[in-house]
């Protein structure tokens, strides 16, 4: 799941928790929304920590200069 999926989970969970007033007998939609938001936040934290490790700065390597002797006459 990428960053977009995590943000989608957070948004859908917030909608279920705060923007709906549906009542069901078998499922507590407020709790489902809170669980979705928690999973989304954990996913964002995990994704950013993995992305930070991948973007490690590597110092540039100095190019090596090789001078070859010239053949023939030099002017």
0.85 exceeded by the pTM?
no
Provide CB contacts within 8 A for 1, sequence distance 6+. 43
* Cα–Cα distance measured from residue 23 to residue 42, given in angstroms and rounded to the nearest whole number: 28
Residue ranges of domains in the chain: 3-53
What do you get for the CA distance between the two ends of the chain, in Å? 66
Residues 11-59 pLDDT 10s: 999 999 999 988 889 999 999 999 999 999 999 999 988 877 766 667 7
Q: How many CB atoms lie within 10 A of CB 73?
A: 5
* Cα–Cα distance measured from residue 66 to residue 43, given in angstroms and rounded to the nearest whole number: 50
């Amino acid at each position: 799941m990428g960053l977009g999926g995590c943000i989608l989970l957070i948004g859908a969970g917030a909608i279920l928790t705060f923007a709906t007033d549906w009542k069901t007998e078998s499922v507590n939609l407020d709790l489902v929304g809170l669980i979705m938001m928690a999973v989304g936040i954990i996913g964002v934290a995990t994704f950013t920590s993995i992305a930070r490790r991948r973007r490690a700065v590597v110092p540039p390597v100095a190019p090596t200069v090789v001078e070859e002797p010239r053949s023939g006459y030099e002017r």
